Amino acid sequence: MNIILLGPPGAGKGTQARFLVEERGMIQLSTGDMLREARDSGTEMGKIVADVMARGDLVTDEIVIGLIREKLQGDKQGGFIFDGFPRTLAQADALGALLAENNETLDAVIEMEVDDSALVARITARSTCGDCGEVYNDNTKPIPADGKCTNCGGTEFKRRADDNEESLKQRLMEYYKKTSPLIGYYYAKGALSRLNGLGEMLEVKVAVDAILDV
């Protein structure tokens, strides 16, 4: 099963992807993670990525598609979760062609809908474990009183410098400008499902499972 998770920063895509990896054996393909992995790999593609990143240039769609092609031709396990890609209609077309080329299908596109003001309130209260990335929230899931991460026992926690209201509003605007055409694109293909991204974590998980188990 291959799926796309759509949603603005902080909608909970990473949390739901982790559930899918742990419970369904799926592989999360995060553009950022793939680029860092390629940069450090020493392969020909990795050298290209390292050179582009060292110059501070934007990585082209062709490079990202090349990295995804390598993943599709490897161990597929329980299928792939596309996280952060596609972001544009051109990328959506390229991904569709690549899946067809590898005899793969896109089984679901899940949009995690949010209320912007509630999302800003959520993210400005967010911190993560510096060791494992477990997410905490001052209001709904505070850092344990003993100062230790419940997932790994780490004691260092951090907040993103751009997790402030003004920066978040800019990031949301960028997301909606670039990604809103994808909503119509996948809706027209009959692949789009929507759910409330601001529900409780396990409620959202149940909604995701219901979409995938149809």
Closest CA to 200 of 140, 132, 152, 160: 140
**Residues 73/104, Cβ–Cβ less than 8 Å:** no
pLDDT on residue 76: 87
Known catalytic residue: 71?
no
Q: Per the residue annotation, which of 18, 71, 141, 171 is the catalytic one? A: 171
- Report residue 72 as tokens: 């599709």
CA distance 174 to 74: 33
pLDDT on residue 116: 85
Known catalytic residue: 126?
yes
| Residues of the chain scoring pLDDT < 70 | none
8-state DSSP, 152? T
Q: Per the residue annotation, which of 18, 24, 69, 126 is the catalytic one? A: 126
| Global pTM value | 0.78
pLDDT on residue 154: 94
pLDDT on residue 122: 79
**Residues 149/134, Cβ–Cβ less than 8 Å:** yes
DSSP lists the bridge partners of residue 112 as 195
pLDDT on residue 22: 94
Known catalytic residue: 122?
no
**Identity of the amino acid at 154:** G
Report cis status (omega within 30 of 0) of the bond before 86: yes
Contacts of 78 (CB under 8 A, 6+ apart): 1, 20, 24, 25, 26, 27
CA distance 120 to 50: 34
pLDDT on residue 45: 84
Residue 150: alpha-carbon gap to chain centroid: 23
Q: Per the residue annotation, which of 18, 160, 194, 205 is the catalytic one? A: 160
Known catalytic residue: 159?
no
pLDDT on residue 78: 93
CA distance 16 to 26: 11
Which uninterrupted H or E stretch holds 109? strand 108-113
